[in-house]
Amino acid sequence: MPHSLSITASSVDAGLLTLPWSTPLAEWPNEYIVSLPKGISRHLVRFANLSGRVVAIKETTEEMARREYDMLGNLTRLDAPCVDRVAVIAGRTDAAGEPLPAALVTAHLRFSLPYRALFTQVLRPNTATRLVDALAALLVRLHNVGFFWGDVSLSNTLFRRDAGAFAAYLVDAETGELHEAGLTRGQRMHDLDVARTNIAGEIMDLEAGGRLEGGVDAIAIADGIMSSYWSLWAALTDRESFAAAESWRLTERVRRLNDLGFDIGEMSIEATADGTKVSIQPKVVDAGHHQRRLIRLTGLDVEENQARRLLNDLDEFRARISRLGSDEEMVAHEWLTRVFEPVVMAIPFHLRAKLEPAEVFHQVLEHRWYMSQAQSRAVPLAEVLTSYIEDVLSHRRDEATVMGPPTETMSLPVISDPAPADESDGEDGVDWRDLV
C-alpha cells in the first residue's frame, strides 16, 4: 500500500485498509462490489462491502471529499436526516505511481432506495406526490437548522418507506453550506427554485423513457414542492396573535406542531402594553415528536409516521385491555411483548430483508383492516399474518439491500420483477391491499 495514502475516518475500521485503493474505482474487482440501485451522480459512485456492511464510495477531489465529510458530520450533530459519513481516502496512487482521485466513503442507509427504484413499471401520480412531499419536509428540516443545499433534487435524496408515506434523507452534501445565523428568505427561495427545476427535469426524463403514467403533469408534480414546503414552513415558524383571554390558543399551537411530528424547544411570547393581545412564535422546533415518545416507551427507533402508527396501536391496546389508568411504560412493555414482537418474529427469516420491522407491522395492520372490511368480520391476527406473508410480503423485493445482477458499473437502478398480473397494481410489484 502506498505510503502516501491518508485515511480520515469517523470511527476505526481496519477493513478500510483492505480495500483496493490503488485501483481506479471503475476497475475494482467484483469481489469488492455490491450491486445496488443508485441515483444519477456527476461523480462515479459504487457500493462496496466493508467489514460486513455496505458503503458507498464516491471519487472526487480531496478538497470536496473533506468538505462533504465535515458537512455530513455537522448535519449528523444537528440531527438532520442524512447518510452517515465513514471516511475520506486521500493520497491514492496506482501501481505506476500516478495519482488517483480522493474518495468519500459513506454508510449505505438500510432499507432506503433512490427514487427510480421505488416503482416497478411506471411512476404513478400518487407515488410522485408522496416523494415530493417527503423532499419538501426534508428541505424544511434542513433549512430550519441553517443548511443551504444548493442542489436539491430527487436524485440527491434517498427514501425510506414510512407507514404509507416516505421519509427523505440527504445523500449528497457536496454543494451545501451551513449558516449558524439561519438562512435568508432568498436562500430558501433559491433552494426551492432549484428543487422545482430539477424535479421537473427528473420527471420529464422518466416520461421520455416511457416510465411515467399517462396524463401525469411533470410541471404540476414539481410545483407541488412549493405548496408542501410553504405550508409546513408556515406551521413551524409563523407568528400568531390572539386575545389574552384565549390562552388555549397556545396549547392548540403546540398540539398542531405535535401532530405534524415536531416539538417546540423554545417559543417567543409577547403581550401588548395594555395586556389585551398576545403574540406567539416558535423559535426552536425539533422534529421527531412521535419518535421520541416511542423510544421512551418501547426503545423502538423508527421513522416518524411509523412511530405515530405504532403509538396509535399501543393506545388502542391500552384501551382494549382496560388499562387506561395503568402506568404507561408498563402497558407499553406489555404491548411490545404481546403484540409487536410476535408479529415481527412470525415473519420467516428469509423474508425479513423485505421491509424493516416497523413497516411490516404497519402493513399487517393495514392488511387486517382490508381483510376485515372484505369479510365483514374481525379477522384473527394469526390469519391476517398468514395471508400477508403469502399474498403480499413474499412478492416484494428485498429492501434492506436491494441486489441486482453482477455488473461492472451501475448508473441506473436495478428493478426486480413485478408480481403476477392478477396481483400487481403496477407499483412495487405488490398486492393492491399493500398501501405503500
Residue 381 phi/psi, 5-degree rounding, is -60, -35
The DSSP call for residue 408 is S
Are residues 20 and 48 part of one domain?
A: yes
- Residue 1 maps to a domain: no
Which residues contact residue 214 at a Cβ distance below 8 angstroms, ignoring those fewer than 6 apart? none
| DSSP strands (E only) in 98-246 | 102-107, 112-113, 147-148, 157-162, 165-170, 177-178, 240-243
Side chain identity, residue 175: T
- Residue 223 maps to a domain: yes
Are residues 387 and 351 part of one domain?
A: yes
Beta bridge partners of 269: 280
d(CA 160, CA 101): 31
Cβ pair 83, 169 in contact under 8 A: yes
CATH number reported for the structural domain that contains residue 211 in this entry: 1.10.510.10
d(CA 314, CA 309): 9
Q: For 100-110, what is the mean pLDDT?
A: 94
Residue 386 pLDDT level (bands cut at 50, 70, 90): very high
Q: Say which range, 62-66, 103-107, 126-130, 417-421, has the weakest mean pLDDT.
A: 417-421
pTM above 0.85, yes or no: no
Side chain identity, residue 81: P
Are residues 190 and 217 part of one domain?
A: yes
Grid coordinates representing 3?
505510503
DSSP reduced 3-state for 20? coil
Residue 412 pLDDT level (bands cut at 50, 70, 90): very low
- Residue 313 maps to a domain: no
Are residues 421 and 361 part of one domain?
A: yes
Predicted confidence (pLDDT) at residue 261 exceeds the cutoff of 70: yes
Are residues 217 and 267 part of one domain?
A: no
- Residue 139 maps to a domain: yes
Question: By C-alpha distance, which of 7, 184, 21, 150 is closest to 92?
Answer: 21
The DSSP call for residue 413 is -
User: Would you state the pLDDT for residue 306?
Assistant: 94
d(CA 160, CA 84): 15
Higher pLDDT, 171 or 321: 171
CATH number reported for the structural domain that contains residue 48 in this entry: 3.30.200
Predicted confidence (pLDDT) at residue 404 exceeds the cutoff of 80: no
Q: For 273-291, what is the mean pLDDT?
A: 88
User: Would you state the pLDDT for residue 38?
Assistant: 61
Domains in the chain: how many in total?
4
Alpha-helical segments (H) within 79-215: 125-144, 185-208
Higher pLDDT, 433 or 353: 353
Are residues 170 and 136 part of one domain?
A: yes
- Residue 318 maps to a domain: no
Question: By C-alpha distance, which of 293, 56, 260 is closest to 165?
Answer: 260
Predicted confidence (pLDDT) at residue 433 exceeds the cutoff of 70: no
Are residues 244 and 228 part of one domain?
A: no
d(CA 174, CA 186): 20
Cβ pair 139, 81 in contact under 8 A: no
User: Would you state the pLDDT for residue 187?
Assistant: 97
d(CA 141, CA 285): 9
Q: How far is CA 221 from the centre of its chain?
A: 19
d(CA 161, CA 101): 34
Are residues 244 and 350 part of one domain?
A: no
Predicted confidence (pLDDT) at residue 388 exceeds the cutoff of 80: yes
Q: For 85-106, what is the mean pLDDT?
A: 94
| Last residue within a domain, chosen from 88, 107, 126 | 107
Which residues contact residue 196 at a Cβ distance below 8 angstroms, ignoring those fewer than 6 apart? 222, 223, 225, 226
User: Would you state the pLDDT for residue 289?
Assistant: 92
CA distances from 397 to 178, 202, 218, 393, 401 (A): 37, 24, 27, 9, 9
Q: How far is CA 39 from the centre of its chain?
A: 14
d(CA 156, CA 214): 26
Cβ pair 266, 257 in contact under 8 A: no
Are residues 156 and 61 part of one domain?
A: no
User: Would you state the pLDDT for residue 80?
Assistant: 95
Alpha-helical segments (H) within 281-436: 289-298, 304-320, 328-335, 341-345, 357-375, 381-391
Which residues contact residue 57 at a Cβ distance below 8 angstroms, ignoring those fewer than 6 apart? 25, 45, 46, 47, 48, 103, 104, 105
Are residues 230 and 136 part of one domain?
A: yes
User: Would you state the pLDDT for residue 400?
Assistant: 64
CA distances from 66 to 10, 291, 411 (A): 12, 32, 24
User: Would you state the pLDDT for residue 413?
Assistant: 34
User: Would you state the pLDDT for residue 308?
Assistant: 94
User: Would you state the pLDDT for residue 206?
Assistant: 85
- Residue 299 maps to a domain: no
Sign for the pseudo-dihedral over CA of 339, 301, 13, 18: positive
Are residues 142 and 215 part of one domain?
A: yes
Give the tens place of pLDDT for each residue, 207-226: 888 887 777 788 999 999 99
User: Would you state the pLDDT for residue 409?
Assistant: 34
Are residues 245 and 233 part of one domain?
A: no
| Last residue within a domain, chosen from 248, 264, 287 | 287
Predicted confidence (pLDDT) at residue 419 exceeds the cutoff of 90: no
Residue 39 pLDDT level (bands cut at 50, 70, 90): low
Question: By C-alpha distance, which of 122, 120, 131, 126 is closest to 155?
Answer: 131
User: Would you state the pLDDT for residue 41?
Assistant: 65
Residues in the chain: 436
Which structural domain range is residue 261 located in? 240-287
User: Would you state the pLDDT for residue 121?
Assistant: 66
CA distances from 51 to 16, 18, 59, 104 (A): 8, 10, 20, 17
Give the tens place of pLDDT for each residue, 288-343: 999 999 999 999 999 999 999 999 999 888 888 866 667 888 999 999 999 999 99
End-to-end Cα spacing for the chain: 47
Question: By C-alpha distance, which of 77, 68, 65, 63 is closest to 180?
Answer: 77
- Residue 427 maps to a domain: yes
User: Would you state the pLDDT for residue 233?
Assistant: 95
Predicted confidence (pLDDT) at residue 428 exceeds the cutoff of 70: no
- Give me the chain's average pLDDT, please: 85
Highest mean pLDDT among 135-149, 236-250, 407-421: 135-149
Grid coordinates representing 21?
485503493
Predicted confidence (pLDDT) at residue 436 exceeds the cutoff of 60: no
- Residue 301 maps to a domain: no
| Last residue within a domain, chosen from 237, 252, 273 | 237
d(CA 190, CA 193): 5
